[in-house]
């Protein structure tokens, strides 16, 4: 089994997202001076509430194809994912910090990262080449993002072509590189026959290197009419020989890898002016990586007969002597003995001649890691056979921090549990520490801090180094009224039962193990009863639990089932309705022992249950709503005129029969939010909601008579996550421009036990958990805290430095309305005590005069209801100290400091 955000898992989402998106105007994203103009206010009542956001911890869950260490600053490292953005390593907490959560709905493809580059000459600078698909699934072109504060804020250079962070070949690289001698020069290898590109102004503008002779010709599957497998994988890596330049002068010798089995390595010896194929190079393979050991003058290539990351049946490792021009095959095994390609490749910058490589496509019995201390003349393996099937390992592996990595498996030798991994296309030795190595897999980041024990005959220890990196694609979410607060349906790793949102669950759902869970549900009045369905190579595709998802048993299924589809549980757990892929809608009154086809409803309909009446079920397909009053035995078509295009999701309100909310559609037709109070006989469209894609419910606000409604929607021309405490009469945006996570349309649900808490699905950034800072109206004023001045205005301010580095920092500020009337616009003022200066601000506009700074609301967060908050963030510089301001004013009046 392998884990990755494969197109299979996100194809429906991707296809749905292509509707109605355009790439017009400058790039739009938070923390950038190049963003679109702020959305104009509308007649829709939108307030703002500042939420705190975090992941429900899973730790990993997807493919990490790239890890990049900065070679001039210790402990500065980055990781890229195929659909979940980029991360920076935080050595203090030994965790990863997400850097691209600001990616917005319209440009969701920018969450896919195909290349990363950290500037050796100026470690504050980092670059990311972003874009998820090169075919029609991604509606926008790619871009190169640039940051001068280690990813705290970004600017973008839009490209005239697409990039493929989730395309075949995405483990090759790095496609993006900064000249180590002249850091204003960058190169980018493009897919799709677009060639080699160069920037000479630190990534602001890009142009094609027309002198480069070969745009590549390899495609994983030339017959694939979708454009996914048939795309030319193009230029796949760029490597500089730093010895051929000096500080301030461009590097002269540059090596480029090309997806062409006959011509896979090119070189320029004049700073990119001219290029030629290096004679004598290996043929019949693609060079996944090209790494130059400047201390020895050796360029190493890891080669595979395919582009990966799943495939690869043969491979080699070659060494090129840049001084003599001699090539040598230094592979650790004979070609006839390979059943895999080679990819992951790193040299030890502290120990010249030491290098490591991975057998990335060795699925069974395990991946393999190779190590040489003599420039590839001899090699040792991370594990080897003693007498088959028994094996001897040079390592010990401890996954206690992420126990689900064992998959609960007890395989027979030579397999082990946990495995070293699969899809191991990224491996990097810390350039400052020969003992530290990290490598990416299809599920996690593993690493060690005693690597050199390998050479002395001891064992090195492998542990997950993935905390903070959350890369799951979320298909469905449920929050029962008792038991675990959160149950999830995930792509590739099935799903989890979270009893503690801040702890990694011990194991994913098992019995059955589903590759991807597509839908799950619990019985509203008997929440111990849970059902889930999903995709697997063979039956079963359905599982049941009677203890709130703690333990599971497999169910039988109707003939013809090929995939999970959607499933619904009766309110009292007495029966289930299942709409699987490959078969008609069916019902059962037991736990899947026998199934009976439902009548009156088309195959492929989405199904849900009424949350009060156990005999009532609902269905929807192609603009028509269906209702059953006999436990799913038969359905009757009811309301029509609903969205006939796009993805549509609907939920019934817990505790109230027949109260249904429906979200979805496409910009080419009906699109929005509808509500029925008569069990689907009729629906009324919510006039204030422009678009909506998912809807869910949570605990009612204090004093409110209706449960909180949460939507992922576009309201008042603003895309975001919204909450209503008055049945949709007014809406409060609860996320902000720094927390958008690309596409959030699959699922959303509030927590029935905690007011304000919401769980949001993402397509690559895991499960986002939002907690309200407000009370939803009323409540007591917050304590100003020690040192806070008497408050003249009805407000409270929190100021938090969230990240700091030499000469720079990032801060988040929250303004809370502690009064009894709404703000209709606000202006916050303060004085910096340590010579700080704001450089960029998001979710507010700013001015600064000396030490005095002001921040004003933007259109969407100017209205702040009593008990609610508005927040903004900024990056800045400091020269003396970075002490926090001790006093704030709102509209000129002193405000409490929390």
Residues 6 or more apart whose CB falls under 8 angstroms from that of 409 comprise 417
pLDDT-derived band at 36 (thresholds 50, 70, 90) equals very low
Q: Considering only residues 1 and 693, tell me which one the structure prediction assigns the higher pLDDT.
A: 693
Distance CA 672, CA 691 (A): 4
Which of 241, 243, 239, 229 lies closest to 264 in space, CA to CA?
239
Q: Contact 108/133 with Cβ under 8 angstroms?
A: no
Sheet with 395-397, edge to edge strand ranges: 395-397, 460-464, 445-448, 437-440, 426-429
pLDDT band per the 50, 70, 90 thresholds, residue 6: very low
pLDDT-based confidence at residue 21 (cuts at 50, 70, 90)? very low
Over residues 363-384, the mean pLDDT reads: 98
Give the pLDDT mean for 341-350: 98
**Whether the Cβ atoms of residue 69 and residue 778 lie closer than 8 Å to each other:** no
Task: Find out whether 758 and 749 touch, Cβ atoms under 8 Å.
Answer: yes
For 622-649, the pLDDT digits (tens) are 999 999 999 999 999 999 999 999 999 9
| Residue 780 pLDDT | 25
- Under 8 Å between Cβ of 743 and 66: no
- Residue pLDDT, tens place only, 215-255: 999 999 999 999 999 999 999 999 999 999 999 999 999 99
The span from the CA of 630 to the CA of 612, in Å, is: 14
User: What is residue 40's predicted lDDT score, i.e. its pLDDT?
Assistant: 31
519 closest CA partner among 12, 60, 96, 29: 12
**Cβ-Cβ contacts under 8 Å for 369 (sequence gap 6 or more):** 344, 356, 357, 358, 359, 381, 382, 420, 424, 427, 439
| 6-15, 285-294, 834-843, 847-856: range with lowest mean pLDDT | 6-15
The token duo for 696 is 């869910």
Structure tokens at 448: 């060690």
Task: Tell me the pLDDT band of 3, cut-offs 50, 70 and 90.
Answer: very low
CA distance 267 to 244: 13
Radius of gyration, CA atoms only, the chain: 28
Whether the ω angle into residue 628 lies within 30 degrees of 0, i.e. cis, is no
Over residues 670-709, the pLDDT tens digits come to: 999 999 999 999 999 999 999 999 999 999 999 999 999 9
CB under 8 Å to 15, separation ≥6 — which residues?
Answer: 137
Asked whether residue 339 carries a pLDDT value surpassing 50, the answer given is yes
Among 368, 299, 296, 386, residue whose Cα is nearest residue 332: 368
Q: What is the pLDDT of residue 898?
A: 84
Of the candidates 473, 467, 471, the one whose C-alpha atom is nearest the C-alpha of residue 446 is 467
Q: Is residue 358 pLDDT above 60, yes or no?
A: yes
Strand partners, 189: 196
Check whether 30 has a pLDDT greater than 70. Answer: no
* Number of residues that make up the chain: 898
Q: Looking at 176-306, list the stretches that DSSP marks H as alpha helix, in order from N- to C-terminal side.
A: none
**In this model, does residue 790 exceed pLDDT 70?**
no
% the chain with pLDDT above 70: 93
Q: Which residues are within 8 A (CB) of 24 and not within 5 positions of it... i.e. 6 or more apart?
A: none
- Alpha-carbon distance 857 to 846, whole Å? 9
What is the CB-side half-sphere exposure of residue 753 using CA atoms within 13 A?
9
Sign of CA dihedral 172, 178, 180, 182: positive
Closest CA to 470 of 4, 55, 5: 55
pLDDT at 804: 85
Question: Exposure of 656 by Cβ count < 10 A (0-12 exposed, 13-18 middle, 19+ buried)?
Answer: middle
Phi, psi (deg, nearest 5) at residue 549? 90, 5
Sheet holding 474-478, edge to edge: 474-478, 486-490, 497-498
Q: Which percentage of the chain shows pLDDT scores above 90? A: 85
CA neighbor of 486 nearest in space, from 747, 237, 305, 711: 747
Distance CA 111, CA 25 (A): 19
Beta strands in 148-246 (DSSP E): 155-158, 176-178, 186-189, 196-199, 207-208, 235-240
Query: pLDDT per residue over 474-526, tens digit each?
Result: 999 999 999 999 999 999 999 999 999 999 999 999 999 999 999 999 999 99
Beta strands in 210-268 (DSSP E): 235-240, 254-258, 265-268
Where does residue 367 rank: exposed (0-12), middle (13-18), buried (19+ CB within 10 A)?
buried
d(CA 262, CA 250): 29
Kindly give the pairing relationship between strand 276-277 and strand 265-268: antiparallel
Q: pLDDT tier at 45 (50, 70, 90 boundaries)? A: low
Tokens of 93: 């907490």
Q: Which of 492, 515, 610, 736 is catalytic?
A: 492
Which residue is associated with the tokens 């059953």?
Answer: 628
What per-residue confidence (pLDDT) applies to 814?
92
Catalytic position from the list 49, 59, 82, 659: 82
Nearest to 738 by CA among 29, 111, 235: 29
The predicted structure's pLDDT at residue 43 = 35
pLDDT at 737: 94
- Mean pLDDT, rounded, for 884-893: 90
Residues in contact with 155: Cβ distance below 8 Å, sequence separation at least 6, in sequence order? 32, 33, 34, 145, 146, 147
| Bridge partners, 267 (sequence order) | 255, 276
Residue 5 structure tokens: 């955000």
What pLDDT digit, counting tens, does each position of 305-335 carry? 999 999 999 999 999 999 999 999 999 999 9
Is 82 considered catalytic here? yes
End-to-end CA distance of the chain: 49
Distance CA 8, CA 137 (A): 12
- Mean pLDDT taken over the chain: 92
pLDDT band at 831 (very low <50, low <70, confident <90, very high): very high
329 is catalytic: no
Alpha-carbon gap, residue 190 to 162, rounded angstroms: 8
- Per DSSP, the residues of 539-558 read S--EEEESSTTSS-EE----
CB atoms inside a 10 Å sphere around CB 503:
11
* Alpha-carbon span 766 to 468, nearest angstrom: 11
Confidence of residue 792 (pLDDT cuts 50, 70, 90): low
């Amino acid at each position: 089994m392998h884990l990755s955000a494969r197109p299979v898992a996100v194809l429906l989402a991707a296809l749905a997202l292509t509707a109605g998106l355009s790439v017009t105007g400058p790039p739009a994203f938070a923390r950038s001076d190049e963003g679109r103009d702020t959305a104009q206010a509308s007649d829709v009542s939108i307030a703002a509430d500042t939420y705190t956001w975090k992941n429900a911890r899973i730790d990993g869950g997807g493919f990490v194809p790239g890890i990049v260490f900065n070679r001039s600053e210790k402990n500065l490292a980055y990781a890229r994912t195929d659909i979940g953005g980029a991360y920076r390593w935080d050595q203090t907490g030994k965790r990863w910090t997400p850097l691209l959560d600001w990616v917005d709905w319209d440009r969701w493809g920018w969450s896919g990262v195909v290349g990363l580059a950290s500037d050796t000459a100026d470690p504050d600078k980092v670059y990311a080449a972003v874009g998820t698909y090169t075919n029609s699934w991604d509606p926008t072109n790619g871009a190169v993002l640039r940051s001068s504060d280690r990813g705290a804020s970004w600017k973008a250079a839009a490209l005239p072509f697409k990039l493929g962070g989730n395309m075949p070949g995405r483990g090759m690289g790095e496609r993006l590189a900064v000249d180590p001698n002249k850091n204003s020069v960058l190169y980018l290898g493009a897919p799709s026959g677009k060639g080699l590109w160069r920037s000479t102004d630190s990534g602001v503008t890009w142009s094609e290197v027309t002198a480069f002779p070969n745009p590549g010709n390899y495609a994983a599957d030339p017959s694939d009419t979708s454009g996914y497998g048939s795309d030319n994988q193009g230029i796949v890596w760029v490597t500089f020989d730093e010895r051929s330049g000096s500080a301030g002068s461009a590097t002269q010798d540059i090596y480029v890898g090309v997806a062409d089995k006959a011509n896979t390595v090119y070189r320029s010896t004049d700073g990119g002016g001219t290029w030629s194929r290096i004679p004598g190079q290996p043929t019949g393979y693609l060079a996944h990586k090209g790494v130059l050991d400047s201390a020895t003058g050796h360029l190493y290539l890891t080669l595979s007969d395919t582009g990966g990351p799943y495939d690869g049946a043969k491979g080699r490792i070659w060494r090129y002597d840049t001084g003599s021009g001699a090539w040598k095959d230094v592979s650790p095994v004979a070609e006839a003995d390979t059943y895999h390609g080679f990819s992951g490749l790193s040299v030890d910058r502290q120990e010249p001649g030491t290098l490591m490589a991975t057998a990335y496509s060795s699925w069974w019995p395990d991946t393999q890691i190779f190590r040489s201390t003599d420039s590839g003349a001899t090699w040792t393996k991370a594990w080897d056979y003693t007498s088959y099937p028994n094996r001897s390992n040079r390592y010990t592996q401890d996954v206690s921090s992420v126990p689900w990595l064992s998959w609960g498996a007890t395989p027979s030798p030579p397999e082990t549990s946990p495995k070293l991994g699969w899809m191991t296309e990224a491996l990097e030795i810390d350039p400052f520490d020969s003992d530290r190595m990290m490598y990416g897999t299809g599920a996690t980041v593993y690493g060690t801090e005693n690597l050199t024990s390998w050479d002395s005959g001891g064992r090195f220890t492998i542990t997950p180094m993935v905390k903070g990196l959350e890369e799951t694609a979320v298909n469905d979410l449920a929050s029962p009224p008792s038991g675990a607060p959160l149950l999830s349906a995930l792509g590739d790793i099935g799903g989890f039962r979270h009893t503690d949102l801040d702890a990694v669950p011990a194991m994913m759902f098992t019995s059955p193990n589903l590759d991807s869970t597509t839908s799950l549900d619990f019985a509203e009045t008997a929440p111990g009863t849970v059902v889930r369905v999903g995709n697997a190579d063979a039956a079963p595709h359905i599982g049941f639990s009677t203890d709130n998802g703690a333990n599971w048993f497999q169910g039988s299924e109707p003939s013809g089932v090929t995939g999970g589809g959607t499933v619904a549980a009766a309110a009292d757990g007495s029966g289930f309705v299942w709409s699987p892929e490959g078969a008609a809608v069916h019902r059962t009154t037991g736990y899947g022992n026998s199934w009976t086809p439902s009548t009156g409803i088309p195959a492929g309909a989405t199904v849900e249950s009424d949350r009060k009446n156990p005999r009532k079920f609902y269905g929807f397909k192609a603009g028509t709503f269906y209702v059953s009053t006999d436990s799913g035995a038969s359905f009757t078509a009811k309301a029509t005129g609903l969205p006939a295009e796009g993805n549509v999701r609907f939920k019934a309100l817990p505790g109230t029969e027949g109260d249904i909310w429906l979200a979805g559609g496409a910009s080419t037709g009906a699109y929005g939010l509808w509500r029925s109070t008569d069990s689907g006989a009729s629906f009324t469209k919510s006039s204030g909601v422009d678009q909506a894609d998912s809807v869910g419910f949570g605990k009612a606000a204090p004093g409110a008579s209706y449960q909180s409604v949460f939507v992922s929607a576009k309201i008042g021309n603003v895309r975001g996550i919204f909450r209503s405490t008055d049945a949709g009469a007014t809406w409060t945006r609860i996320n902000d421009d720094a927390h958008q996570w690309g596409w959030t349309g699959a699922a959303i649900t509030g927590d029935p036990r905690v007011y304000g808490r919401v769980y949001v699905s993402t397509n690559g950034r895991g499960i986002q958990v939002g907690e309200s800072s407000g009370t939803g109206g009323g409540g007591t004023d917050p304590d100003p805290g020690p040192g806070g001045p008497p408050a003249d205005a009805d407000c409270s301010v929190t100021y938090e430095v969230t990240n700091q580095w030499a000469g720079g920092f990032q801060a988040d500020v929250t303004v809370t309305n502690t009064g009894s009337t709404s703000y209709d616009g606000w202006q916050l003022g303060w004085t910096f005590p340590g010579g700080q200066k704001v450089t960029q601000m998001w979710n507010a506009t700013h001015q600064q005069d000396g030490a005095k700074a002001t921040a004003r609301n933007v259109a969407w967060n100017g209205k702040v209801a009593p008990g609610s908050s508005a927040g903004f963030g900024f990056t800045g510089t400091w020269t003396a100290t970075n002490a926090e301001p001790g006093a704030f004013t709102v509209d000129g009046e002193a405000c409490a400091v929390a």
